[in-house]
């Protein structure tokens, strides 16, 4: 990246030259090692969750969706295993987003762009697409040779290209298809899709996500990270001097010499660097950079150069981790002859962890203690109060009862307010005087018109608070809310 | 316009239009060709519009255009589509007996929603948007009903109105005892105070209760009943309760007795379909005043 450029090759924007630099195709080489294994594992996990989660079933009882994770837009419900969220509980998603954001910060302060290198969908799918490419067309050298070859296309080459793109499209199509399954009972749309009976919106979404997956993972690749994604800028700003980044330990690597020369010089007792300039770290890099030029924007810190370098170091009998997770502070310390220091527990990691713990704790607490029975009350505004023929005063309220549980409930409504009040729900004949009882069907809301009448002699003040208690007759669960009783 | 292209401005080297004011000449800077072409195209396009869409006003109508398009017609189609969409539910409402609607939560919700919008369009000008009423226009939230407050009675009042001219309308009115010379002014004052006493309101000092009772018995009992309890058959209000349609102060009562009262409620049958009338009756009943 920091190579000197011949001035004659430079183009500027004010002449008729191109306004952009053409992409230099990257041919990452396959590599084996610790970080590659971690990446395979995380890829299998992430894709496995994404592709198969919609098929996981969860028994919620008769009539309720039996999909473990389901975003039910038509009915405004979100199901996540044992949790069922209603639209008014979207604040849980706010909490989730806060936790996710702070978790990213925490990852950064501990190990730099871990997200970019191992977990980002762009990285995961690009990695998968590279694996397919390697399988079909061969490794780095073969691919370079095939692309460079000016021979007329041979049938073998054409079939290779067709095969590669077919597999890519298949993966991309499955990616789009899996997305749709989160919004519907998974087996149903699968059947509908196969028989071309699915709603148009499903096909549109599948088409969009197939296209984006195919283009982003198959063609844009590292350019997404370098030019499109805002995260590298933000993450770089969040990374401090103690964060462990994929680092070329130049204190150990310089000066670079060939294996042979290094052996000769070492024999003479001279100091020689461990780097043998084999360019393996560059060959395996999916963004096509040279990590030995220091930390740079394009580096997604996937650690594949570490594996590549380790393999070479093992071969030439030098200690591993010439490239490794480290920081500049430790390189300086080693140069000064001090022992390296790794500080994971720092004020910022403590603060981030505390925020995650606090928000997560609040979410778990509210989830655990949240009520499955709820009541909202809206006072009639027009008229606010009515005087009846015998002089008593009546206020009307619109009461909305929410039954979030998976069974029908019988509830009783009580009101505490002015002395000797009577309650009446329109359309309900109470068996017990002043204690209207109604049935709220499972997983639904009921809207009622509730009338509260206070006798004339109670002589209420201009406005007194009323407490509404909604009691589940069977379970004793109570939901309460407050409004006012107003005199005319 | 004559061609002045020969007249060249010395500073810019451009030709002028030949227009000159106080020695200042206008440069000839024509519009760009693409602009002019677009302009002509829009004119051609507009001619197409005149032909295809309704455009020219005639004396009593307008040109209809080749497409026969009309915003009114398309609105009618949209409304018809909406009716079809709601048809099933409204049909259920039309089929249900009036007395059973409030017992069925789904029908009650539908009737209330439908009733609220129809009430807003048709009834709110007199009764207020929440049915709170005004002087001369009854409050529909309270429990005092001139013509009765059961579902059926409310339904009947909405359908046929009061003094509306409909064949089945409620008839009966408050006579003008003063204007028609039946009662003398001092008798009117006396009976007005007697009526106030019926509902426990204060009376004028020195008012003769016995005389008031006698006048009331002779003139008012026929409609308002013994003791002024009222009669829904005739729309005669209960004079003993706390609710007064026109006001309970002495001056208003004197006015009522002297001039009479005969407020009109229009008949809604024929203007609204039966299901809507039903929805409205249920809505008004559910406001809370129904019996």
Write out pLDDT tens, residues A155-173: 888 999 999 999 999 999 9
Cα separation, B146 vs B163, in Å, equals: 13
CA B49, B54, B59, B60: dihedral to nearest 10 degrees?
A: 180
B260 close to A (CB below 8 A) = no
Cis amide leading into B61 (omega within 30): no
Q: How far apart are the C-alpha atoms of A403 and A372, rounded to whole Å?
A: 6
Which chain B residues contact residue A380 at CB under 8 A?
A: 130
Please give the pLDDT value at position A13.
46
Cα-trace Rg, chain A = 33
Interchain pair B242, A389: CB under 8 A: yes
**Would you say the C-alpha torsion B150, B156, B157, B159 has a positive or negative sign?**
positive
Residue A22's pLDDT band (cuts 50, 70, 90): confident
SS3 B238: coil
Q: Look at residue B17 in the predicted model and tell me its pLDDT.
A: 85
Following DSSP, what letter does each residue of A46-66 receive, concatenated?
Answer: HHHHHHHGGG-B----TTS--
**Could you tell me if B238 lies within 8 Å of chain A, comparing CB atoms?**
yes
- H helices present in A182-294, as ranges: 187-194, 200-215, 222-223, 231-238, 250-253, 259-267, 280-284
B200 has a chain A CB within 8 A of its CB? no
Token pair recorded at residue A163: 């095969």
Cβ-based burial of A388 (10 A; exposed 0-12, middle 13-18, buried ≥19): buried
Tokens 């509980």 locate to: A89
Q: What whole-number percentage of chain A has pLDDT above 70?
A: 94
Q: Structure tokens of A100?
A: 């996710």
User: DSSP string spanning B263-274?
Assistant: --B---BTTB-H
∠ CA(B74), CA(B76), CA(B77), 5° rounding? 65
Q: Under DSSP, is residue B15 helix (H, G, I), strand (E, B) or coil?
A: strand
In the stretch 19-78 of chain A, residues with CB closer than 8 A to chain B read: none
Length of chain A: 488
C-alpha span between A66 and A56 (Å, rounded): 9
CB pairs under 8 A between A and B: 58
Number of alpha carbons in the 13 Å side-chain half-sphere of residue A46: 18
Close Cβ partners of A300 (under 8 Å, ≥ 6 residues apart): A113, A116, A117, A120, A123, A222, A225, A232, A286, A287
> Coil, helix or strand for A180?
helix
Residues 6+ apart with CB under 8 A from A215: none
CB contacts of B243 in chain A (<8 Å) are 387-389
DSSP assigned state of B227: G
Q: Smallest Cα–Cα separation from A57: which of A65, A44, A66? A: A66
CB B178: neighbour CB atoms within 10 A? 19
Residue matched to tokens 């005063």: A393
Distance of alpha carbon A430 from its chain centroid, rounded?
51
Q: Which pTM was predicted? A: 0.73
A320 pLDDT tier (thresholds 50, 70, 90): very high
Contact check, Cβ <8 Å, B141/A387: no
pLDDT score, position A418: 87
DSSP β-bridge partners for residue A452: A395, A423
| Residues of chain A positioned with their CB less than 8 A from the CB of B289 | 386
Q: How far apart are CA B185 and CA A200, in angstroms?
A: 81
For residue B170, give the DSSP letter.
Answer: B
A10, pLDDT greater than 70? no
CA angle B252–B257–B263, rounded 5-degree value:
80
Q: How many CA atoms lie within 13 A of B202 on its CB side?
A: 3
Find the residue in A nearest to B283 (Cα): A426
The DSSP element (H or E) to which A424 belongs, if any, is: strand A422-425
The values of phi and psi at residue B183, to 5°, are: -120, 145
- What does the pLDDT read at residue A1? 42
Q: What's the rounded Cα separation, in Å, for the pair B176 and A197? A: 75
Pick from A54-68, A345-359, B10-24, B60-74: least confident: B10-24
Please answer whether residues A88 and A375 qualify as being in contact, where contact means their C-beta atoms are separated by less than 8 angstroms. no
The encoded tokens of residue A153 equal: 């296309």
- Burial label for A66, CB within 10 Å (0-12, 13-18, 19+), is middle
Tokens (6 digits) for A419: 């002395």
Residue A18 has a pLDDT of 55
State the Cα–Cα distance between residues A337 and B92, nearest whole angstrom.
Answer: 90
Kindly report, residue by residue over A236-277, the tens digit of the pLDDT: 888 888 999 999 999 999 889 898 888 888 888 888 899 999
Q: Average model confidence (pLDDT) for chain A? A: 90
Looking at residue A459, the DSSP 8-state letter turns out to be: -
Q: What are phi and psi of A445, to 5 degrees?
A: -120, 155
pLDDT tens digit string along A424-466?
Answer: 898 887 767 778 999 999 889 999 999 999 998 776 678 899 9
Given this model, what pLDDT does residue A79 score? 93
Strands across the sheet containing A437-440: A437-440, A409-416, A463-472, A478-486
* Cβ neighbours of B186 (radius 10 Å): 10
Q: In degrees, to the nearest 5, what angle opens at C-alpha A285 toward C-alphas A280 and A287? A: 150
The H or E element that residue B187 is part of is helix B185-198
Encoded tokens for A374 = 């709820």
| CB-CB neighbors (< 8 A) of A447 in chain B | 109
Contact residues, chain A, for B287 at CB < 8 Å: 396
Q: Is the confidence at residue A406, as pLDDT, over 50?
A: yes
- Alpha carbon of A371: minimum distance to chain B alpha carbons (Å): 24
Residue with the two structure tokens 């299998």: A44
As a whole number, mean pLDDT of residues A135-150 equals 90
* CA distances, B102 to each of A34, A350, A377, A438, B87 (Å): 72, 61, 20, 13, 20
Residue A2: per-residue pLDDT: 47
Q: Is the bond leading into A397 cis (omega within 30 degrees of zero)?
A: no
Residue A383 C-alpha, separation from nearest chain B C-alpha, in angstroms: 5
Kindly state whether A396 is in contact with chain B, defined as any CB-CB distance less than 8 angstroms.
Answer: yes
Using the beta-carbon criterion (under 8 Å), do B132 and A396 form an inter-chain contact? no
Tell me, what DSSP letter sits at residue A224? I
Q: What pLDDT is attached to residue B8? A: 83
> Is B70 at the interface with chain A, CB within 8 A?
no
Calculate the CA B19 to chain-centre distance: 63
Of A423, A424, A431, A438, whose CA–CA distance to A473 is shortest?
A: A438
Interface contact B241, partner A, CB < 8 A: yes
Cβ proximity of A448 and A426 under 8 Å: yes
Q: Which residue ranges in chain B fall short of pLDDT 50? A: 1-2
Touching check for A394 and chain B: CB below 8 Å?
yes
Q: What tokens does A355 get? A: 């925020």
Q: Is B171 on the interface with A (CB under 8 A)?
A: no
CA A180 to chain centre: 17
ipTM for this prediction:
0.74
Closest by CA to A27, choosing from A138, A151, A165, is A138
In chain B, count H helices and then E strands: 11, 2
**Which residues of B are less than 8 Å from A382 in CB distance?**
128-130, 132
DSSP3 helix / strand / coil % (chain A, rounded to 5):
45, 20, 35
Is the link from the previous residue into A101 a cis peptide, with omega within 30 of 0?
A: no
Quick check: A265 and A248 in contact, CB under 8 A?
no
Structure tokens at A341: 């220091």
Q: What is the DSSP string of A267-301?
A: HTT----S-----HHHHH-TT---GGG-S-TT---
- A391: nearest CB among B103, B242, B287: B242
């Amino acid at each position: 990246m920091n190579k000197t450029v011949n001035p004659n090759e430079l183009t500027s924007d004010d002449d008729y030259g191109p306004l952009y630099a053409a992409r230099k195709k990257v041919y990452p080489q396959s590599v084996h090692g610790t970080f590659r294994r971690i990446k395979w594992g995380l890829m299998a996990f992430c894709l496995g969750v994404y592709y198969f989660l919609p098929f996981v079933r969860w028994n919620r009882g008769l009539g309720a969706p039996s999909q473990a994770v389901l975003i039910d837009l038509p009915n405004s419900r979100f199901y996540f295993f044992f949790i069922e969220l209603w639209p008014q509980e979207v604040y849980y998603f706010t909490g989730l987003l806060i936790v996710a954001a702070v978790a990213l910060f925490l990852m950064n302060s501990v190990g730099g762009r871990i997200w970019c290198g191992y977990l980002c969908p762009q990285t995961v799918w690009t990695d998968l697409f590279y694996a397919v490419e390697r399988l079909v067309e061969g490794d780095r050298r073969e691919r370079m040779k095939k692309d460079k070859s000016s021979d007329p296309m041979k049938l073998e080459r054409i079939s290779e290209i067709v095969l590669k793109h077919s597999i890519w499209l298949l993966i991309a199509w499955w990616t789009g298809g899996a997305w749709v399954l989160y919004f519907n009972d998974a087996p149903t749309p699968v059947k509908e899709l196969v028989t071309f009976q699915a709603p148009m919106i499903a096909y549109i979404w599948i088409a969009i996500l197939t296209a984006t997956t195919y283009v982003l993972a198959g063609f844009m690749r590292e350019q997404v990270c370098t030019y499109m994604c805002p995260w590298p800028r933000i993450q770089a700003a969040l990374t401090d001097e103690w964060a462990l980044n994929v680092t070329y330990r130049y204190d150990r690597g310089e000066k670079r010499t060939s294996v042979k020369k290094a052996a000769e010089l070492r024999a003479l007792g001279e100091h020689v660097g461990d780097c043998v300039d084999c360019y393996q770290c560059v060959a395996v890099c999916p963004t096509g950079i040279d990590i030995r030029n220091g930390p740079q924007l394009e580096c997604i810190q996937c650690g594949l150069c570490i594996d590549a370098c380790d393999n070479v170091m093992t071969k030439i009998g030098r200690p591993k981790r010439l490239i490794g997770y480290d920081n500049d502070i430790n390189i300086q310390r080693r140069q000064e002859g001090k022992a390296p220091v790794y500080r994971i527990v720092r004020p910022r990691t403590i603060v981030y962890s505390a925020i995650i713990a606090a928000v997560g704790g609040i979410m778990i607490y509210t989830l655990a203690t949240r009520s499955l029975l709820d009541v909202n009350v809206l006072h009639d505004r027009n008229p606010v109060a009515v005087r009846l023929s015998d002089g008593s005063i009546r206020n009307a309220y619109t009461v909305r009862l929410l039954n979030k549980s998976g069974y029908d409930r019988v509830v009783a409504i009580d009101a505490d307010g002015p002395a000797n009040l009577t309650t009446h729900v329109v359309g309900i004949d109470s068996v017990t005087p002043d204690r209207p009882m109604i049935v709220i069907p499972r997983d639904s809301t009921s809207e009622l018109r509730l009338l509260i009448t206070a006798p004339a002699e109670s002589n209420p003040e201009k406005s007194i608070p009323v407490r509404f208690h909604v009691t589940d007759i069977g379970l004793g669960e109570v939901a309460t809310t407050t409004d006012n009783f107003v005199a005319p | 316009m004559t061609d002045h292209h020969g007249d060249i401005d010395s500073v810019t080297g451009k030709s002028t239009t030949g227009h000159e004011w106080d020695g200042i000449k206008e440069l000839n800077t024509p519009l760009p060709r693409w602009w002019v072409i677009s302009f002509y195209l829009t004119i051609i396009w507009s001619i197409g519009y005149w032909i295809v869409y309704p455009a020219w006003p005639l004396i009593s109508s307008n040109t209809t255009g080749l497409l026969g398009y009309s915003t009114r017609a398309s609105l009618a189609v949209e409304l018809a589509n909406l009716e079809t969409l709601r048809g099933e539910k409204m049909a259920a409402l039309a089929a249900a007996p009036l007395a059973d609607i409030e017992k069925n939560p789904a029908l009650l919700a539908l009737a209330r929603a439908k009733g609220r919008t129809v009430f807003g369009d048709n009834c709110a000008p007199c009764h207020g948007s929440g049915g709170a009423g005004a002087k001369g226009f009854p409050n529909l939230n309270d429990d005092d009903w001139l013509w009765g407050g059961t579902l059926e009675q409310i339904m009947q009042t909405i359908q046929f109105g009061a003094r509306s001219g409909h064949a089945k309308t409620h008839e009966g009115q408050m006579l003008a005892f003063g204007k028609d010379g039946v009662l003398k002014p001092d008798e009117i004052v006396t009976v007005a105070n007697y009526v106030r006493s019926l509902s426990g309101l204060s009376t004028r000092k020195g008012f003769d209760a016995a005389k008031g009772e006698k006048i009331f018995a002779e003139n008012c009992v026929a409609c308002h009943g013994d003791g002024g309890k009222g009669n829904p058959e005739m729309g005669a209000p209960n004079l003993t309760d706390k609710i007064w349609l026109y006001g309970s102060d002495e001056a208003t009562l004197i006015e009522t007795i002297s001039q009479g009262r005969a407020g009109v409620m229009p008949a809604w049958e024929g203007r609204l379909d039966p299901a809507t009338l039903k929805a409205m009756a249920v809505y008004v009943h559910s406001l809370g005043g129904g019996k």
